[in-house]
Amino acid sequence: MTPRETILTALADLLRTVPHVPVLRGEVLPERVPVGGLMILRDGEPGEPGVTLSPLRYHYQHRAEIEAVVQGEARSTSFDALCASIGAVISADRTLGGRCDWIEAEAPRPVDLPVEGAASLKAAVISVVLHYTTADPLA
């Protein structure tokens, strides 16, 4: 696996430590949101790397995205708890077990989404910045 894929897999595994909240990777939003909520990890963009020579290294600030979604009567409280849980697992392992230099999440911008015939959804995209270095942009 490439360093990028190793890091994204490690991030998905880290997010799976949040209890009772399934984590999908690159999937579409399912028709039903589980009671505790749902996270969908999107690979995002590695962006333009900084480059150093001798030895040649590419330094990325890769922006992955977590789509956090909750549904139900207490969706504001559930959403807040889900965001706090995401923050807690990220701050507990800022290097993903040494796989990257640093990881940090940005504040969510929640929105309420009406669903015809069901309780509304509360959702947000949480950007996660992954700082890492590779020897090759395709590696």
Beta-carbon contacts of 44 under 8 Å, excluding residues fewer than 6 positions away, are 62, 63, 64, 65, 127, 128
3 state SS of 29: coil
Q: What is the chain's pLDDT, residue by residue, as a tens digit (139 residues)?
A: 899 999 999 999 999 999 999 999 999 988 889 988 999 999 999 999 999 999 999 999 999 999 999 998 889 999 999 999 999 999 999 999 999 999 999 999 999 888 887 778 999 999 999 999 999 999 7
Domain locations along the chain: 3-134
Instruction: Tell me what pLDDT residue 114 has.
Output: 84
3 state SS of 118: strand
Instruction: Tell me what pLDDT residue 73 has.
Output: 84
| Confidence (pTM) | 0.93
Rounded Cα distance, 82 and 36, in Å: 8
Do residues 23 and 41 touch, judged by C-beta distance below 8 A? Answer: yes
Longest CA pairwise span in the chain (Å): 61
The CATH code of domain 3-134 reads: 3.30.70.1700
